[in-house]
Amino acid sequence: MERFKDILKASNLKSTHQRLAILECIDTHGHIDIETLFELILQKYPTMSKATLYRNINDLLAFYILEEVKLPQQKQKYEIKKVPHIHLLCSQCDTVEDIFVETNALFETISSQSGFQIQKSFIVMNGVCKRCLSKK
């Protein structure tokens, strides 16, 4: 994917097969943990080592290309950095959905109530997704 080559170049990172595979894999999965990511990439690049994976994840985080996603009760996951959004974690099918919602009203309330100056937010909702709800 050309898109990722450009992103890497912008941070002076070389576009190795491994790095591109990591980015594409995270991109198509949306949210993924190290172990799953490793297994998926191994299928395409049998020589991929975990050291490389960890090093790349850390580098990509440092350059703000990736973002960590810490969900309750789950192993740490990663996603491609995008505009701020809310995570909807379904307790039935275990999938994570992203949703874009206006949160200014909430931010306002919090600021005026506490004097805290909000820079960014991390919001996860736990519940049951549309699909699982309609299954009953």
From 51, 82, 105, 136, residue interacting with its own copies (rule: CB under 8 A): 105
CA–CA separation, 78 vs 101, rounded Å?
21
- Verify binding: residue 47, DNA, rule CB under 7 A: yes
* Shorter beta-carbon distance to its own copies: residue 47 or 117: 117
Burial class (CB in 10 A: 0-12, 13-18, 19+), 97: middle
- Candidates 100, 5, 22; CA nearest to 66 is 22
Q: CB neighbours of 83 closer than 8 A, spacing ≥ 6?
A: 100
Could you tell me the two tokens for 62? 């440092």
- Verify binding: residue 93, its own copies, rule CB under 8 A: no
* Shorter beta-carbon distance to its own copies: residue 43 or 126: 126
From 43, 58, 109, 111, residue interacting with DNA (rule: CB under 7 A): 58
Give the x-and-dash track for 74-113 against DNA (CB under 7 A): --x-------------------------------------
CA–CA separation, 130 vs 22, rounded Å?
30
Residue 105 interacts with which of its own copies, DNA, none, CB < 5 to 8 Å by class = its own copies
